Amino acid sequence: MISGVFLRLLACLTIFSFFIYSYLDKQNSCTELKMHLPKLTKEIQAINEVNANLQYQIECFENPQNLLSLAGSQQYAHLKFPFMEEVLTVKEGLALHYSAPKERKAEPAKSKTPIVATN
């Protein structure tokens, strides 16, 4: 009788201890993650800063004055702005349908008109 109560008590204590342990373990993991948060926040902030600086550098390079001087150089002399009538505007869905590999047939290009997809 007494040994039966003792066994049941032992089982309860074991289960209780297991849950307590897993709860504490979870708490520890959470705390560990929380401890990483400030560092990660700082890293994200630093990445954002670098991003903004890179964005600025890219814009500096894409300065239209630079691009115009590049366009005037011999290397790009063959390029020209297309006339409006040479630009065909097709809807995005149509453009995707047109370029689907299954429906595409090997046909010779009929026109050299550039096609620009827009939304």
CA dihedral defined by 94, 97, 99, 100, rounded to 10 degrees? 170
What is the x/- site pattern for other proteins, positions 64-83, by CB under 8 A?
xx-xx-----------xxxx
86 binding other proteins? (CB under 8 A): yes
9 binding other proteins? (CB under 8 A): no
Round to whole Å and give the CA distance between 88 and 84.
8
User: Cβ(92)–Cβ(118) under 8 Å?
Assistant: yes
User: Cβ(91)–Cβ(115) under 8 Å?
Assistant: no
84 binding other proteins? (CB under 8 A): yes
Cβ of residue 20: shortest distance to other proteins, in angstroms? 32
Round to whole Å and give the CA distance between 9 and 11.
5
Tell me the window of 4-12, 28-36, 58-66, 100-108 that interacts with other proteins (CB under 8 A): 58-66
Q: Which positions touch other proteins (CB under 8 A)?
A: 38, 42, 46, 48-50, 52-53, 55-56, 59-60, 62-65, 67-68, 80-89, 116, 118-119
